[in-house]
Amino acid sequence: MHPVILAIESSCDETSASVIQHSKVLNNVIASQTVHHKYGGVVPELASRAHQQHILDVVNEAMTTAGILPSSLNAIAFTKGPGLMGSLLVGVSFAKGMALALGIPLIEVNHMEAHVLAHFINDPKPSFPFLCLTVSGGHTQLVKVKDYLDMEVIGETQDDAVGEAFDKAAKIMGLPYPGGPLIDEYAKEGNPRAYSFPDTAMQGLNFSFSGIKTAFLYFLRDRLAEDAAFVEKNRNDICASLQSHLISMLMQKLRRAANETGIKQIAIAGGVAANSGLRGAIRDAAAKNRWEVFIPDLQYCTDNAAMIAMAAHYKFLQNKFTTLDVAPVANLAIGI
């Protein structure tokens, strides 16, 4: 059977809905929340309120533009976690209500697995096994993907996520949230070798990004003590140097994982996979190491319901449904 599924994503600060039919994603409606910009990070209470305001319109738009009637749906999918509890609750409750009213099954989706499965929305698609570097605002993971729903985390951050390092560094420079895309823009005009930062590498395949955040804070404090306009005068070079340092920390572990596993199909996923420097670095490494690389469209890197729909499609085919007493989970590991 080729199911028709409505998927809802509400784990952080994007309210999104998508309809998938016969394994083809028909749309990807996203309402982004701007209310957090002035606070320098996502405010959980404001996020869940904004989800409540947006969810009905977002779902209606996804259904209308897909040309699908509710009676044609075979299942409703939602993000179970990981994410912000108040945000997740809005999506889970909405999905439960629709499933109950329509008398169709529910499908829970792990947000991080969905980031990986975004690779199956469009061609070219990787084959199994492949390695995926999943980099977002909340996670930094090296995942060995053995099958659609069989993934093993072989390395991950022991403290901050790399997206958090981008966002916190941006905040220290006085840039609004989310700072990752802004650092990317300024970095394009800067010299990546202008400043150097300490290497805070972990053993094995794990990452650590909290040290670089502190080092960056002290670096700016010392420079600003000498020249109050240091950031304004050197913003492009600071961004380029920091970004290239963070990328080299990611690439070092990715190369190691590829060598240790012998896997040559390499993918990146998650919000930080939208970074132009990382996309370039992975293409360069592909040429050097004879990797075949998979880089999702920008709209499928940051949070979106299309990836939830894609994951739900594979769960439907394996009869992996969820009962109505399901609750969201803030910290949910891959594979659970």
Can you give the binding site for ligand KG4, defined by CB under 6 A?
A: 12, 136-138, 163, 166-167, 178-181, 184, 270-272, 274-275, 302-303
- Which residues on adjacent β-strands are paired with residue 131? 144, 266
Nearest to ligand KG4 of 68, 311 (CB atom): 311
CB of 49 to Zn ion, least distance (A): 20
For 324, residues 6+ apart whose C-beta sits below 8 A from its C-beta are 96, 99, 100, 106
Q: How far is the CB of 217 from Zn ion (least distance, A)?
A: 26
Q: How far is the CB of 71 from Zn ion (least distance, A)?
A: 31
CB of 137 to Zn ion, least distance (A): 7
CB closer to Zn ion, 240 vs 307: 307
What minimum distance in Å lies between the beta carbon of 187 and ligand KG4?
9
* Residue 178 binds: one of ligand KG4, Zn ion, none (C-beta under 5 to 8 A by kind): ligand KG4
10, 79 in Cβ contact below 8 A?
A: yes
Among Zn ion, ligand KG4, none, residue 275 binds (CB under 5-8 Å by kind)? ligand KG4
Query: Which spans of this chain sit near Zn ion (rule: CB under 5 A)?
Result: 136, 303
Cα distance between residue 78 and residue 104, in whole Å: 14
Report the partner that residue 163 touches, choosing among ligand KG4, Zn ion, none (CB closer than 5 to 8 A by kind).
Answer: ligand KG4
- φ and ψ of 141, to 5 deg: -135, 145
Tell me whether residue 110 or residue 244 sits nearer to Zn ion (CB atom).
110
Shortest gap between Cβ of 191 and ligand KG4 (angstroms)?
A: 18
Q: Counting every residue, how long is the chain?
A: 336
Instruction: Indicate the residue among 324 and 333 with the shorter CB distance to ligand KG4.
Output: 333
CA distances 127 to 38, 86, 265, 308, Å, are: 42, 36, 8, 19
Q: Confirm if 209 and 157 have CB atoms less than 8 A apart.
A: yes
Among ligand KG4, Zn ion, none, residue 304 binds (CB under 5-8 Å by kind)? none
**180 binds, options ligand KG4, Zn ion, none, Cβ within 5 to 8 A by partner type:** ligand KG4
Residues 6+ apart with CB under 8 A from 99: 75, 76, 105, 106, 324
Give the up-direction half-sphere exposure of residue 52: CA atoms within 13 A in the CB hemisphere. Answer: 9
Taking only Cα atoms into account, the Rg of the chain, rounded to an integer number of angstroms, comes to 20
Which C-beta is closer to Zn ion: that of 173 or that of 305?
305
Shorter beta-carbon distance to ligand KG4: residue 113 or 303:
303
Return d(Cα 276, Cα 269) in angstroms, integer.
13
Phi-psi region of 107 (alpha: psi -120 to 50; beta: other; left: phi over 0): beta
Among 254, 268, 83, 273, which residue's Cα sits nearest to residue 166?
273
**Residue 108: contacted member of Zn ion, ligand KG4, none (CB under 5 to 8 Å, by partner type):** none
Distance of closest approach, residue 274 Cβ to Zn ion, in angstroms:
11
107 touches, from ligand KG4, Zn ion, none (C-beta below 5 to 8 Å by class): none
- Shorter beta-carbon distance to Zn ion: residue 83 or 105: 83
